[in-house]
Structure 1
Amino acid sequence: MQIRYSPDELARLLATEAEQEAGTWLRPTAQQAEVIQAPLTPRLVVAGAGSGKTATMADRVVWLVANGLVRPDQVLGVTFTRKAAGELAHRINGRLERLLAVPGFEIPGFEGTAEELGRAAVSTYHSYAGALVRDHGLRIGVEPGAVQITDADAYRMMRQIAEDADVDLQEGAPALSTLVSGALGLAGDMAEHLVEPDAVRDYLAAEIAHGASLPPTRAGAARNKEAGELLFSLRARLLMAHMVEAYTAAKEEAEVMDFGDLLRHAARIAADVPEVGHIERDRYRVVLLDEFQDTSHAQMTIFAGLFGASSGEGVGHCVTAVGDPHQSIYGFRGASAGQLFDFPHRFPARDEDARQAPGADPAAADGEAQTGEGAVVGRLRPADVSHLTTAWRNDESILALANRIVAPMAQPETDTVQVQPLQSRPGASAGEVRLDEYVTGEEEAADLVARMQRLADDAGDGPVPSRAILCRGRAQFGPVIDALEAAGAPYQVLGLNGLLSLPEVAEVLAVLHVVAEPGRSDHLVRWLSGPRWRIGPADLALLKERARFVARLRTRQSDEEAARLEDTSPEEDADTAVLLEALDDLPRESSRWTGRDGRTFSAEGLRRLTAARDMLRRLARRTDMDPAEMIGEVERATGLDVELALRPGPSAVAARRHLNAFIDTARQFGRRAVGRTVDLAGFLAWVESAAEHEMGLGIENAEPDPRAISVLTAHASKGLEWDVVAVPGLVRGAFPSTRADRWMALGAGALPWPLRGDRNALPQWDHSWAENDRDWVQSSGTVKAKAALELLGSRPDFATLLTEHALRDERRLAYVAFTRARSRLWLSTCQWKGTNKTPVEVSEFFAEAAELAEDGPTPVAGVGWGTRLTDQQRTDANPTAGRMRAALWPFDPLEGPIAYDVDPDDPEDREAWTELPRRSRGRRAAVEAAAAAVRGADPADLDLDSALGAQLEWAVLRERALQDASGEVALPQHLSVSLYGELAKDPEAVAEQLRRPMPRPPAHAARRGTAFHAWLEDRFEATGMLDIDDPDDAADQWMDDALDLEPMQQWFLSSRWADRIPAQVEAPLETTVAGVTLRGRVDAVYRSGGDPADPFDPQAQWELVDWKTGRVPTGRDLENKALQLAVYRLAFSRLHGIPLENIGASFVYIAHGEERTMEALPGEEELERILREALGSP
C-alpha cells in the first residue's frame, strides 16, 4: 500500500498554525520515526527514562490509521495503571480528532467523522485479563458470575485457614500474622508464575528431607543451630503451601476468585483455547504492550499464547512491546527485567516479514528462532529491536549520572538485547547534580530542608519549583519530617506507608482498632497514653489489674486458677484479661475499688478513663458505617478536626491533607467491595496487610499546594517528576540496601526460585557440594563465612550471588530516583547515622557521582560539591553517641512534648538540660485565646469571609451543641459536595444529621447506583488517579441481577456517550467556599479540541458529567442539585486553570434516558452567598 503521510508530515499537520508558519513544530527524531513507521511485525522498543515513549506509541497508531493500514478499533493498547491508560487513549484519539479537522486531510478508504472512525481500545493488564475470563471463562469451566474478592476478603479467608491449621513444625510455630502474610504472598507468587501447589509441596518436602538427612560436622555433635532454623523456615513454607491449597479450595466452594486466579484463568484460556486467540487477533491487528519490564511470567504467557510464539498460526502478529530494563523495580510483585530480554524470542517474526516500512525490501532471514518453550517453530527470526534514547525530561548532568549508575549492569557477552545510554535533548541545559556531606543525619536533613525552603523564598510571588525528597525506606521519613516541621515548611507525604507513620493518622487508626477489635489491648494502651488522654503509668497499671479482676469475675475461675492469674505476666494473660473490659467496668469513684497493693485510681485518671469509655461506647454504635464515614466520625468524636483547624502554621495544612488522603484510601477500599458489606474490621486488616507488604495507595491531591515539598519512597516515585529532587541517606546499607532477599527466609512467603518462570535470571541455591549441616547452611546464603569460600574455591557462593543480584536491583532503583529530577538533583550522605558507634560507609552511588564532579576522574559539567567535609571536620567518635535525651511525660497536648539534651554523667541535674528545637509551635496560647472568643462570641456577629471566622463559628456551635442538644450544631471543617446541596435545600435537616449521625440502611437504590457506577468504571477502565505504588485492583465485576442494571446499560450503550472516551473518571475535586472545604468526585470529565499534548489545555472545551440512576428532579429540586455541578465546575477551574466559560456540566439520568445540561450555573460569589444564607450569616 502506498504510504501517504510520513511521521514528519503528520507532526506538521498536528502543529499549530504559528508553528507551521515558523517551521518550529517538534519533529520526530530518527529513532522515533523508525518506531512510528515500522512494519506490522513484532518489535521491542527499549525506551529509556523520559524518552517520550507514550507520545511515540500514540504517533505510531496515528501513522497506521492515517495511512489506512488499520482502523483505530483494531488497535489494543495495554499498560499497568489506569492513569497511563487514560493518557495513552487521550493522546491517540485526541490526535486523530485533530487530524480529521485539518482541511484536506484524508484517510484512504474512509469518509466520515471522528465518532464514526472509532476509538482505540486501551486497557490495563489486569482489566484485559478480566475481560478474557468474563468473555471466555466458560470454555475452561469458570462461571461468569464468579465474584472477585478484595484484598481484605483474601486476608480474612487466609486468617481463618491459619487459625484452623494443624501446626506441627517440631520446633514451634511462627506467629499467626507471619503465616497469613506468608501464605498470601506465596499464593500470589504461585499465580504469577503459574505453579500448582503440588509442585511447591514436592520441592519443599525434598529440600527438607535432604537437609534433615545431613549429619552434623562431627560425629555425635548436636545439630547446627542455624541448620535447625533453616529447617524450621522450610517447614513453615511447606505449611504455607498447604494453606494455599486450602485457600484455593475455599475460594472454589464459595465461587469466588482473587487477582491471582484471574491471571491463572486468563493464561489457561490463552494456552488451551486456540479459538480465543483467533478472536483476539481478528479483533486487534496491532497490539501495544507498555511498561513491559514490569510484566510477570503469567502476563507474558497470556500475550504470547494469544499473539506470540505459543499461538501457532498467530506467530508474527504485530505486537510492539515498550519498556526499560533499567526501570524494572517491582521484582517483589512478580515483575522481572528478564521478561523484556525474552520478548524477541517469545514474539518472533516470520522470515517473509519486512523489517522496514511497508513498500521496502524484505530483510534477509536470521535463521531459526526459539520459542519460550524451546521448540523450533518453522523458519522464524527474533523480533526487531528499536531504541529511544533521547531524554526529554532531564538536563545533561543528571543524564550523565543516570548512565553512570547503570553502566556496571551491562553484560555484552550475555545480554540478548543491548541497552543504549541516554542522550540529552537538543538545547538541554547542564543542570545541577549537587553533592553534600554531613557529620550527622540530623544536620543532613536540616540543611536539605533549608535549601528547599530557600527555593520557595527566592521564587517570591512567581511559580515555585516543584520539589521532592525521595527516601529509600520508611525509616528515613522521621528525620526528614522532623526537619520539615521544625522549619515550618509545607509538605505532603505520599503513599499509604508514609501516612500510617504520621501522628494524626496513627491516632485515628488506634481508635478504629479499639472499637473494631476489642481484644487488641495494645491499641487501647497507645491511645490512652497518647496526647488525647495522657493516662499515667500508675493508672494504666491499675487498669491492667482491673482487667484481671474483671476476667476472673467473667470466667468464674477457681481460687487456684485465680491465684495463678494473679502471678502471670501481662503478656501471658493478655488473651484472658482484656483492657477494654476493664475500661467498660470502671468504678464510679476511686475509693470504690482497690488494687492488691492498696492503690486506687487517681481522681483525674478515673475522670479521663471514664470520658474515654463514654467516647468509645458512642463510637462502637457506629461501627456499621462505611470506613470512610467512620474515620470522619472518629475525627469529630475525638475533636481532632477542631485541633487541626486551630493548629498554627503549615503543619495544619499537611495534617489535614494526610487525613483526607487516608479517608480517600478508605473510600477506595469501599469501592472495591461493590455488592458486599464493607466492614471496619476488614478495612483494618487490609491496612495492616498493605503496610506489611509495603503496598501503598497514593494521595489524591485535588488542589495541590505548589509550595509543598513531596516526601515519598523511591519506589513510589516511578512515573512522577519534579524540578528539584533530593535523595538523602546515601550510605552503604541504606541506599544501596545490603539486605539480600532469600526466598527461604521465614517471613518472606516467596515461591522457591527454582520454580519461578524467570528462574534463569535469578541466583539459584546449589547445595550439591554440602557434606554436613554446616555446609548446607552456608550454601543457603544464611551466612557468608570464609570457610564457605574456601570450600567452594572458585565457585561463587549463593550469598555472593544474592548480594550481586540485590545490588543490580538497587542500581535500577537509584536510576529511577535520579531520573525523576528535571533540572536539579541533590545527593547527600553523612558520616554518622543516629547514635551508632561505628561510622557508616559512603554509598557506591554517591561515590560514583563524585567521580563526575569537577575534581573527579571523569568530570561532567553541572556536577559539583556543595558541602564537603574536610579531614578536620570528620570526627573520630559519633557526636551523638553519648547523647541522652529526655522529655517530661505526660506532656501538655496543646504544647507538644519538649525534648532536652541531658548530661549523661549527671542526668538528674535539670539545670544542665538543654531544650531542643521544637518540631512544631505550641498551641496553648492560640487555643486559650480561641476558647475565650468562643465563650463570648455570637455566631451571627462573625465574619464568614475569613477561614478563621468560619472556624470560630463552628467552634461556637459545637460548644453550644454540647451544652444544649436542642441548640445549633457544629459544622465540620469540610463537607461533601452533595451535603452542600442538601444544606442549601434544608439546613435544619442537615444540622440534625450532623448532631446525631445515624447509619443509613443500605437502600436498594443506592446499591443500584453503586453497581452501575462500577460497571461504568470497568467499561472506561479507569477508577481514578492511582499511584504506581498502589495495588492494581479493578472494581468488582459482579453485579446483583436483582439490581436490574441491564436496561440502564443498554441505554448507555446506545447513547452518544458510549463511544466517547472520558479524559478522567471518578476525578477527585476539592475547593474552598466561604471558608468551608468542599470535597467530592465528578463521575466523568470529557474534553474536545485543544492541544492533545496538554492534558489540561485551557483552550479546550470541557464537560463534567454526573451519572444518575434515580428519578429526574424538576423545578427547585433540580436547581438545588445543580449546586453540586457548580461546585465541581469551580473546583475543576481552580485546579487546572481553565476558564469557567470553557467548562460545561450535565446530569445524565440513565434509568430514564434523559439529560439535563445546566446552562447557567452559579459562580464563586453566588456559591458563597448560598452557603452564608444556609448558615444564617450575613
Structure 2
Amino acid sequence: MEEILKQANEGQKKAITHDEGPALVVAGAGTGKTRVITQRIAYLIQQGKAKPENILALTFTEKAAAEMEERVDVLLPYGYVDLWISTFHSFCDRILRDNALDIGLPNNYKLLDETQAWILVRKNLDLFNLDYYRPLGNPTKFIHALLKHFSRCKDEGILPEHYLAYAEEIKLNSGSKDFVKQMSLEGVDEAEELIKSEILRVGEVADAYHVYQQLLLDNEALDFADLLIYTLKLFKERPLIKKRYQNQFKYILVDEFQDTNFIQSELVKEVAAPKNNLMVVGDDDQSIYRFRGSSIENIMQFKDFFPEAKEIVLTDNYRSTQEILDLSYKFIKQNNPHRLEASLNISKQLKSHLDKKGIIEHLHFDNNGNEADGVVQRIIDMKNNHSDLTWSDFAILVRANDSAEYFVSKLDEFKVPYQFLALRGLYSKSVVVDVINFFRLLDNYHEGSAVYRVLQFDCFGLDQLQVVKIIHHAGRKSISLYDALTRVNTVPGVNDETITKIRNVVVLINKYTQMVKSKKISEILVTFMHESGYVKLLAKANTKAARESLRYLDQFLKKVQAFETAEAENSLKDFMSVLKMEMDAGNSGGIKFNPEEGPDMVRVMSIHMAKGLEFKYVFLVNLVDRKFPTDKRSEAIVIPDALLREKLPIGDYHLEEERRLFYVAATRAKEGLFFTSANDYGGAREKKLSRFLLELGYEKKDLIKSEQEKVVVNQNKSFIDQLVVPKSFSFSTLSMYQKCPFQFYCAKILKIPTPGKAVFTFGNVIHRSLNEFVEQSVVMENVIQGNLFGPAESDRRIVLTLDQLYEIYEKNWLDDWYEDATQKKKYYKKGKGLLKAFYEDFVANKPNVAMLEQPFALKLNNYKIIGRIDRVDSVDGGVEIIDYKTGTPKDESKLTADDKQQLMLYQIAAEEVMGLKAVKLTFHYLENSQRVSFLGNDKQKEKLKEKWLDVINKIVSKEFLATPSSFVCDYCDYKDICPYRKI
C-alpha cells in the first residue's frame, strides 16, 4: 500500500483512499487522473476491500481500457482472475451475451457498426414508408440523418413506443393554442398547413424508428446504441439480474464522466445502487463530445443526484508550464457561470510542477499556404537548434481533418517525417482508387471513367495525349471507350507504340474478365497487380509514398479477404455492391497505422483525437473566424423537447463547447504553444481572427513572410499545355468549373463518358413537355385571336386540356437511367403532379408568352457565352425571364449569389443581345407552383461579368487544380477515379 501512495500528492491520496459512498473527482488537465483510477483499484484489492471481480471500471475507448489494465497489472504483483475494466459498450455487450434471452433477444446477435446499419436500411428502404425523408432524386439522402437521430434517441432513453405515442399526442392536440404557441406559429397565416406538415413529419420519423428497430430484431442484430438501452431495459425489467450485478460490483469507477450521455449515466446509477460506492472522475472543462451525444449536465448535476458525494479536486499539473496553464485558465473562465468551479464554489486553477518558462506565440501569415510553410519551417528550425528535441515532440492540431492538407503537403515537401492520424480515408488513396476502378472495369468494361483510370496506370506506360485522342474518337463515333480500345488501329493520330500497348492492355482486361467467373477476388487482385507490373514499379521506387501505397494495398487486400470469408454471396459484383453502399454511407475506409514507422514523427491530428495526449510543442492552426470556433450546426433531425429526458443546457452551448475544445488543445502543450492564422483561405473575403484569439488579447500583427510558393496539385504541365479548351462557354460549364476545376477537366477537356442520372432524365422530360405544351398553346391561341370573331384580349383562354398535356408528357417520356421500375414509377407519378400544378397555374395566370427556349450568344471580351432561356413573358414595363425548376423550392431569402447566376446571365443576354428590358427574373418551382423573383442591378451584373471572365481566363490558362469538398465530391460523376476526392 505504501508503494502505491508514495508518489501520490495529497489530492490524489484522498481519491485513492476514499472509503465508501459517492465521490466526484474533478481532475484538471495533466493532473494524473488515470493514475488515480488505477491506483485506487489496486488499493481496494490490496486492502482486502474488494476482489478484482468486485470492481467495475468504465471508460470510453478500448485504448484507455487497455492502458488501465496494463497499469493495474503492474501494481498487482500476484495477478488477478477477472478484472472488469472496459468501455461502456464492451461492458453492456458482456452483460447482454449472458442475459439477452431474459428480455427476448438472441444472445448470438450480430453487432452492427454505422456503415453496416446504413447498408441494412438501404437494402430494406422500401419497408420504410418515407415521403418527407425520401427525395426522389436522392432516395438515400436522409438515411444517415435518420440513423443518427435514432441513435440520439437511444442515448436519451427514448424508445420507438415513446416516439409513436408523442406523434399521436401532437396529432390529437394540433388544434390547441398551446401547440400553436409551442411551434411559434401564433399569428402566422399558413399556421394550419405548417402544423399539418409537422405532424406528418414527426409521424414519419416515429414510424421509421419503429420499422428500424423491428428490422434489427428480424435480422438478429443490434447497433451500438442498443447495447446500452437493452442493458438498461434488462436491469429495469429483471430486478433479480440487476441485484446479482449490484452485489458483484462493490465499487464502481467511471473515467471521463463529463463525456457520458443520459443512458450511460442511468446505467451507472442502476448498478451502483443501493450502496452507491461510485467514484466518477472527470473535468467539465474538457467535455467536447456533445456532437456524439455526451451530456455535460451529468457531471454538472452529479451533486444534485448525490448530495452526500465527497468532492476531491486535483489541481497539481505535471505536464505544462505555468504560463500555458495560466493562459488556458484565463481563457476557459469565459464559460462561467456554466462550470463546476462556479457552481460548486471550488478552485480549478492548475499549478505547474515544471521548473521551466513556457513559450506562447501568435504567428500570422498572408495565406494558408504560407501558414503551413511557416509552421513546418518553425518546427525544422527548433529541431535543428536543439539537439535534444525529436520530431515526436511536435504536434500540429487542427479543428477538422480537412484543414490538415496544406500542413501534410508541406511536411512532405520538406521531407519531415510525420503521421497524419486520420483513421479513415483508405478508399481515397490513389492505389486503392486504382484497384477499385480495375474491379469496376471487370464488372462492366463499358464504364468509361473506370477504363480511363486504368489507362493511367504507370505500369502500362501510355502517352496520355494519345489516350485523349482515343477518348475523343470514342465520343465522335458514339461508341464506348472500351470499344475504341479494341479497334485502336482505326483511331486517327494514334502511333504504333500506343497501338501495341493498348492491345496488351485489352488482352489483360479480357483475361481477367474471364478469370472473375471462376477465381476468388483476392486471387484476381494479387495476380493482376503482379502480372501488370504495378507492384514491381512500387517496390522499385522505394520511396515513402511507394511504401505507403504497398501498405494501403495490403490493407485493402485484407478487406477483400475478410469479405470473402464472411459473405456467402462473395462474387466481384457482390463485393462492389457492398463497397458502393459503404461509400454511399460515408465510410471512407479505415486505416491502420504501421507501428514499424517508428515513434519519431511529427503528429498531425484533430483536437478531438489529441485528447489525452501531450507534446512538448503544440501548433494550434487556422485560428480564424468560422474555422475555429465553427458555425453552430443543428442536427438534421432534432429530437422534440417534449421527449428529452436530460435537462437542456442553458446559454450558448455550441460556443462553450468550442471554447472547451480550444482549452483541450492548449493544455496538450508542455513547453510551447503556438497559435497560427492567415488572411486568405481561398474565399472572396479576408478572414477575421478567431474570437478566441481576441479573447486572449491577440490582434493581427505584421505578416510573417514565407519564401515558399503556395502548394498546388502537381500536374503534368507539358501534357496540359497541349490540350484544347472550349471556344465557347455555357452556364453549366462555368458553374462546373467554379465547383471544381478538375471535374471540368474530366468532363469538358478529357470528355470522359459517364452514366446518366434519373434526376436529369426526368428534368429533361419535364422541360420538353412544358415547352411543347406552352408552344402549342400560344400557337392555337394566336389562331383564335386572329379570327375576327375570336375572344378579346381580356378573355384569352388556354385551348389545350390537361389530358393533352399528359399526352405530350407521355410522348416525351424516357426510360433512361432509372434504378428500377419502382423509381421510374414514382418519378412518372411525380411528373404528372408537377404538370397538373403547372397547368392550373398557367390557366389561372394566362401569361403573355413572348419567347420559348430562346438561344443566345453573349460576347464577353473575346469570349462567347451561349445558352437558352426557358421562357420570356411580356409584362408591364418589359419582360419577365422564367427558368423552370423541378427541385426543392427555396425562399428568396435563402437564394445565394451562386443560385442567382443563371438567371442573371439570362438578364444580361436579354438586355445586351436581344435589346429587351428585363423587369423580373423568376425561378418557377414546379413542385408547388411557387415563384421566387428578383432582379440584378448594374453593380451585380458587372461583378458577375468579372467573375465569369476570371473563370474563363483560368480555363484558357488551363488551370485545372482540384478543389475537393465532401459536398461537391459526393455528387461528382468522377469521384470514383479522382485522386483528390473527399468522401
- Name the TM-score, length of structure 1 as normaliser: 0.53
Aligned to 1:70: 50
Secondary structure of 1:811's counterpart equals helix
Look up the equivalent residue of 1:280 and give its one-letter code: Y
2:288 aligned with 1:329: yes
> In the alignment, is the contact (CA less than 8 A) between 2:451 and 2:482 conserved in 1?
no
Give the partner amino acid of 1:11.
Answer: L
Q: Residue deviations 1:607-640, cap 9 Å, x none?
A: 7766666555666656999998887667546655
| Secondary structure of the structure 1 residue equivalent to 2:76 | helix
Counterpart among 827, 835, 849 of residue 675 in structure 2: 827
Does residue 445 (structure 1) correspond to residue 372 (structure 2)? The answer is yes
Contact 2:425 2:590 in 1 (8 A): no
Distance in 2 separating the partners of 1:286 and 1:482 = 50
Conserved 8 A contact 2:134-2:141: no
Q: Which of 737, 741, 745 pairs up with 2:633?
A: 741
* Conservation of the 8 A alpha-carbon contact between 1:157 and 1:247: no
1:340 aligned to which of 287, 294, 299: 299
Deviations 1:826-853 (A, max 9, x none): 210011212x3311010122234445xx
Amino acid at match of 1:838: R
Instruction: Give the Cα–Cα distance (whole angstroms) in 2 for the partners of residues 68 and 887 of structure 1.
Output: 66
CA gap of 1:10–1:263, structure 2 versus 1, over 3 A, is closer
| Cα separation, 1, equivalents of 2:674 and 2:103 | 54
Distance 1:587 1:848, change over 3 A: closer
* Conservation of the 8 A alpha-carbon contact between 1:661 and 1:700: no
Partners in 1 of 2:518 and 2:616 — Cα distance?
45
- Describe the shift of the 1:840–1:408 C-alpha distance in structure 2 as closer, same or farther (beyond 3 A): same
CA contact (8 A) 2:369 2:711 kept: no
* Structure 1: distance between partners of 2:195 and 2:127: 25
Report if aligned partners of 1:93, 1:119 keep a CA contact under 8 Å in 2: no
The equivalent residue for 1:805 is 653
Which of these residues, 387, 401, 424, is aligned with residue 313 of structure 2? 387
Q: 1:888 to 1:325 in 2, by over 3 A?
A: closer
Is the aligned partner of 1:401 residue 2:381? Answer: no
Within 5 Å, give how 1:193-232 maps onto structure 2: 193-200=156-163
Q: Cα 1:874–1:487, aligned 2, differ >3 Å: closer, same or farther?
A: closer
> 1:672 & 1:35 partners in 2: Cα distance?
49
Q: How far did 1:432 drift?
A: 1.9
User: Per-residue deviation at 1:401?
Assistant: 2.8
Aligned to 1:716: 609
| CA deviations over 1:311-349 (Å, ceiling 9, x no partner) | xxx323211111222222222222222222233344x3x
1:837 alignment partner AA: A
Residue 74 of structure 1: CA displacement?
A: 1.6
- Residue matched to 2:649: 761
CA gap of 1:181–1:513, structure 2 versus 1, over 3 A, is farther
* Aligned-partner Cα distance in 1 for 2:643–2:415: 52
Post-superposition Cα deviations, 1:926-964, rounded to whole Å, max 9, x if no partner, equal xxxxxxxxxxxxxxxxxxxxxxxxxxxxxxxxxxxxxxx
Counterpart contact for 2:618–2:668, Cα < 8 Å:
yes
Secondary structure, aligned partner of 1:178: coil
| Alignment equivalent of 1:846, drawn from 693, 713, 716 | 693
2:24 partner amino acid? L
Distance change >3 Å, CA 229–CA 833, structure 1 → 2: farther
Deviations 1:1031-1087 (A, max 9, x none): xxxxxxxxxxxxxxxxxxxxxxxxxxxxxxxxxxxxxxxxxxxxxxxxxxxxxxxxx
Contact 1:293 1:339 in 2 (8 A): yes
Higher helix share: 2
Q: Distance in 2 between matches of 1:417 and 1:810?
A: 23
The residue that corresponds to 1:869 in the other structure is: 701
Go from structure 1 to structure 2 and tell me whether the alpha carbon gap of 1:673 and 1:753 turns closer, same or farther (over 3 Å shift).
farther
Matched, 1:140 2:103: yes
What's the TM-score, normalizing by structure 2? 0.63
- CA gap of 1:288–1:838, structure 2 versus 1, over 3 A, is same
Q: What secondary structure, in the 3-state scheme, does the structure 1 residue paired with 2:595 have?
A: coil
Q: Which residue of 2 aligns with 1:11?
A: 5
Distance 1:198 1:583, change over 3 A: farther
CA distance in 1, matches of 2:152, 2:686: 39
Change (3 A) 1:38 1:449: same
The 8 Å contact of residues 510 and 527 in structure 1, kept in 2 or not, is answered as: yes
Of 479, 486, 504 in structure 2, the residue corresponding to residue 588 of structure 1 is 486
Aligned mates of 1:888, 1:147 — CA distance in 2: 47
For 2:537 and 2:250, the matched residues in 1 are separated by 59
Pairing 1:817–2:811 present: no
In structure 2, the residue matched to 1:180 is: 143
Q: How does 1:292-441 map to 2 (within 5 A)?
A: 292-307=257-272, 314-346=273-305, 348=306, 381-411=307-337, 416-417=343-344, 420-441=347-368
Contact 2:420 2:604 in 1 (8 A): yes
Which stretches in structure 2 are left out of the alignment for 5+ residues?
724-983
d(CA) in 2 for partners of 1:690, 1:453: 40
Counterpart-to-counterpart distance in 1, 2:22 and 2:331: 31
Q: Which residue of 2 aligns with 1:970?
A: none
In structure 2, do the counterparts of structure 1 residues 585 and 539 end up closer, same or farther at CA, with 3 Å as the change threshold?
Answer: closer
Superposed counterparts of 1:121-140, under 5 Å: 121-140=84-103
Q: How many Å apart are 1:47 and its aligned residue?
A: 1.6
Q: Residues 275 and 248 from structure 1, CA distance in 2 versus in 1: closer, same or farther, beyond 3 angstroms?
A: same
Letter of the structure 2 residue corresponding to residue 742 of structure 1: S
CA distance in 1, matches of 2:371, 2:662: 19
Q: 1:1041-1060, aligned counterparts within 5 Å? A: none
Match of residue 75 from structure 2? 95
For residues 504-530 of structure 1, the C-alpha deviation after alignment (integer angstroms, 9 at most, x for no partner) is 454445545665798987666666568
> Partner of 1:162 in structure 2?
125
2:39 equivalent to 1:48: no
- Distance in 2 (CA, whole Å) between partners of 1:810 and 1:498 is 25
Q: Contact 1:477–1:498 at 8 Å: present in 2 too? A: no
CA distance in 2, matches of 1:435, 1:520: 51
Residue 948 of structure 2: aligned partner: none
Out of 8, 18, 39, which is 1:38 matched to? Answer: 18
1:645 paired with 2:645, answer no
Q: How far does residue 687 in structure 1 lie from its aligned partner after superposition?
A: 4.9
Alignment length (residue pairs): 708
Amino acid at match of 2:327: L
Residue 731 of structure 1 corresponds to which residue in structure 2? Answer: 624
CA 1:524–1:11: 2 relative to 1, 3 Å:
farther
Q: CA deviation at 1:268?
A: 0.1
CA contact (8 A) 1:129 1:263 kept: yes
Cα displacement (A) at 1:193 = 2.1
CA deviation map 1:270-324 (0-9, x unaligned):
22211122111221211111122222222222222222xxxxxx32321111122
Shift in alpha-carbon separation, 1:129–1:218, aligned structure 2, 3 A: closer
Render the CA deviation track for 1:51-91: whole Å, top value 9, x for unaligned.
21111111112222222222223212121222211221221
User: 1:157-210 CA deviation, whole Å, 9 max, x = no partner?
Assistant: 110222565553499546233222222222322222222235445656888978
Q: Specify the code of the residue in structure 2 equivalent to 1:810.
A: E
Q: Return the alpha-carbon distance in structure 1 between the equivalents of residues 441 and 32 of structure 2.
A: 50
Residues 268 and 217 from structure 1, CA distance in 2 versus in 1: closer, same or farther, beyond 3 angstroms? closer
Match of residue 867 from structure 2:
none
Output the CA distance in 2 between the equivalents of 1:87 and 1:623: 48
- How many angstroms apart in 1 are the aligned matches of 2:129 and 2:473? 38
Question: Against the structure 1 CA distance between its residues 150 and 435, is the aligned structure 2 distance closer, same or farther, given a 3 Å change threshold?
Answer: closer
Taking only aligned residues, the RMSD between alpha carbons, in angstroms, comes to 4.7
Contact 1:412 1:418 in 2 (8 A): no
Contact (CA 8 Å) 1:735, 1:810: kept in 2 or not? Answer: yes
Q: Counterpart amino acid of 2:661?
A: L
Question: Is contact 1:50-1:392 (8 Å) kept?
Answer: yes
